[in-house]
Amino acid sequence: MNFAKIVQDNMMPSVQKKECCSKSGALTESFHTQLAELMRQENTQISVKQVQITGTKLSNEPLMLPNQASLKELSERLDYMLDLLFVRNDIPKDPPVEMQYSYTRTEIIIKGDRDDIDKIANLINEDEDISDLARTTLAIASHVINMAESLRFQKEYRDSEEPQEVVEKFAYLFDEERHYHHASIKYGDGLDILSDGKNYSL
């Protein structure tokens, strides 16, 4: 069961449809069914699309799970490859740039307050290894960031003696209007994962 979806122009995992409790807190039969299925997953493993890494030290491990360890390793590798790209092309790392993936344009979008944005964007998108790694890192980051609340719900529900209260607390997770966090990458002196423009701790 996949709870994550990005509604902005970014990597977009699938979303679970709204099948939750009413305003009075009553659960529907459909929600009970889904919840039972979820709680049978002893290791809290969410079904997600796994992504192949090419041209990196991860090439011998083609499937990456969306977890903190994978995101940290991808981020470190991308930071290293961007360092090489900037040094080889005599590009200063300050001021930093922000990176995100556009599905409509099928390319990495680079933003920042500097005059060489177009040059940086072209270099990154023309380098298949870097663009693939950046796209993969953004995909994993989107899943990790948006799964966090769902994982907290599962843990609290499993440990609680008042599961109804936990369901009501996290009812927004099953709402069609739920806010999904936007993942991006900031690169400068180092590389940071951003959630809605704020640093996300790895």
Query: For residue 202, what pLDDT band results from cuts at 50, 70 and 90?
Result: low
How far apart CA 86 and CA 145 sit, in angstroms, is: 28
Q: Is residue 89 part of a domain?
A: yes
166, two tokens: 């936990």
How far apart CA 64 and CA 177 sit, in angstroms, is: 29
> 73: domain range?
29-199
Say what the pLDDT of residue 18 is: 39
Q: Is residue 19 part of a domain?
A: no
Say what the pLDDT of residue 16 is: 40
Q: Is residue 15 part of a domain?
A: no
Question: E strands along the chain, which residues?
Answer: 97-102, 107-111, 183-187, 191-195, 198-199
Token pair 């709204």: residue: 18
Please write the tens of the pLDDT for every residue from 129-151: 999 999 999 999 999 988 878 77
How far apart CA 144 and CA 196 sit, in angstroms, is: 13
- Position 198, amino acid: K
Environment class of 191 (CB within 10 Å of its CB; exposed 0-12, middle 13-18, buried 19+) = buried
Say what the pLDDT of residue 159 is: 87
SS3 48: coil
Say what the pLDDT of residue 172 is: 78
Closest CA to 137 of 54, 78, 197, 86: 78
- Compute the mean pLDDT over every residue in the chain, rounded to the nearest whole number: 76
Say what the pLDDT of residue 13 is: 40
Q: 54, 132 in Cβ contact below 8 A? A: yes
Report whether the peptide linkage leading into residue 95 is cis, meaning its omega lies within 30 degrees of zero.
Answer: yes
Token pair 């200063």: residue: 92
65, two tokens: 């799970």
Average pLDDT of the residues in 69-97:
96
Q: Is residue 56 part of a domain?
A: yes
145, two tokens: 């960031």
Residue 163 reports pLDDT greater than 50? yes
Say what the pLDDT of residue 55 is: 42
88: enclosing H helix or E strand: helix 68-88
Token pair 């890494």: residue: 53
Q: Is residue 93 part of a domain?
A: yes
Average pLDDT of the residues in 50-62:
44
Average pLDDT of the residues in 44-63:
43
Q: Is residue 86 part of a domain?
A: yes
Say what the pLDDT of residue 124 is: 97
Query: For residue 77, what pLDDT band results from cuts at 50, 70 and 90?
Result: very high
| Total structural domains within the chain | 1
Residue 36 reports pLDDT greater than 70? no
84: enclosing H helix or E strand: helix 68-88
Q: Is residue 99 part of a domain?
A: yes
The total of other beta-carbon atoms located within 10 Å of residue 38's CB is 18
Q: Is residue 128 part of a domain?
A: yes
CA angle in degrees (0–180, nearest 5) for 144-160-175: 50
Say what the pLDDT of residue 139 is: 93
